[in-house]
Amino acid sequence: MTQRAVPVVLVATSGTGKTTLAHRLVDGPGHYVFSISATTRPPRPREQDGIDYHFLSQQAFEDRVAHGSFAEWASVHDRMYGTPRSELDAAAERGDHVVLDIDIQGARQIREAVPDATLIFVLPPSVDIMMARLTGRGTEKRENIARRLESALDELQAVPEFDYVVVNDDLEECLSDIRGIVERGEAPAPPEQDAEGMRRVIVELLEGEYSADLQDSE
């Protein structure tokens, strides 16, 4: 059965390749559009205003919060991020699946505001691979990596709140799983990966290799 177009919320730990997945969904077949969030963080190299994010000053962001312009907003790693209502409204009018690449706090707000939204958690294949992607970016300081690992603990704990769990091991397979969910309501095979097991590995990293970095960031 073809599913009615509803917002598709993708949440993952950093280093899972979620942003690549979101962009590939939009570039591929089917009616997918990317919800362009607003943020107060500065653009990274190669990011473009109005394409990757709407980059706003703190004041401009706060004005929009006061006007109720966001469907959800949250502070992530000390920066503000929000989903403009206009992104959801425009997609709904066109009958497009709007893909939200947002954090766990935002996902919970969307769950409240748009009860029929589809919430999908994207797991990395393993903590090792997640760490390789995180450190391989080369743009993150050790204390930022430690902070992202701390966030990952909370995110992985929230996995049971999600409608579906997919694993981004093979990108094409993961895309196909997400399309199956969104377009046909097909649940993918339950993952072999275990979020609780991943949390234990991350706790070990935070208590061992990254313990000094975590103290630096506090």
Binding site for ligand 5GP (CB under 6 A): 37, 41, 72, 74, 76, 81-83, 101-103, 105-106
Residue 199 to residue 112: CA distance in whole angstroms: 26
Residue nearest to ligand 5GP (CB): 106
Using alpha carbons, list the distances in angstroms from residue 170 to 99, 176, 182, 205: 20, 10, 18, 25
CA distance 195 to 193: 6
CB of 1 to ligand 5GP, least distance (A): 30
CB of 12 to ligand 5GP, least distance (A): 8
Considering the complex, state which of residue 99 and residue 214 has its C-beta at the smaller distance from ligand 5GP. Answer: 99
Please state the closest distance from residue 214 (CB atom) to ligand 5GP, in A: 18
Q: Residue type for 99, please? A: V
H-helix or E-strand spanning residue 109 = helix 104-113
Q: Which is nearer to ligand 5GP, 76 or 90 (CB)?
A: 76
Q: Closest CB to ligand 5GP among 37 and 118?
A: 37
Based on CB atoms, which residue is closest to ligand 5GP, 147 or 199? Answer: 147
Edge-to-edge strands, sheet with 54-55: 54-55, 38-39, 79-84, 70-76
Quote the least distance from Cβ 83 to ligand 5GP, whole Å.
Answer: 4
Half-sphere exposure of 24 (CA within 13 A, CB side): 16
Q: Which is nearer to ligand 5GP, 41 or 133 (CB)?
A: 41
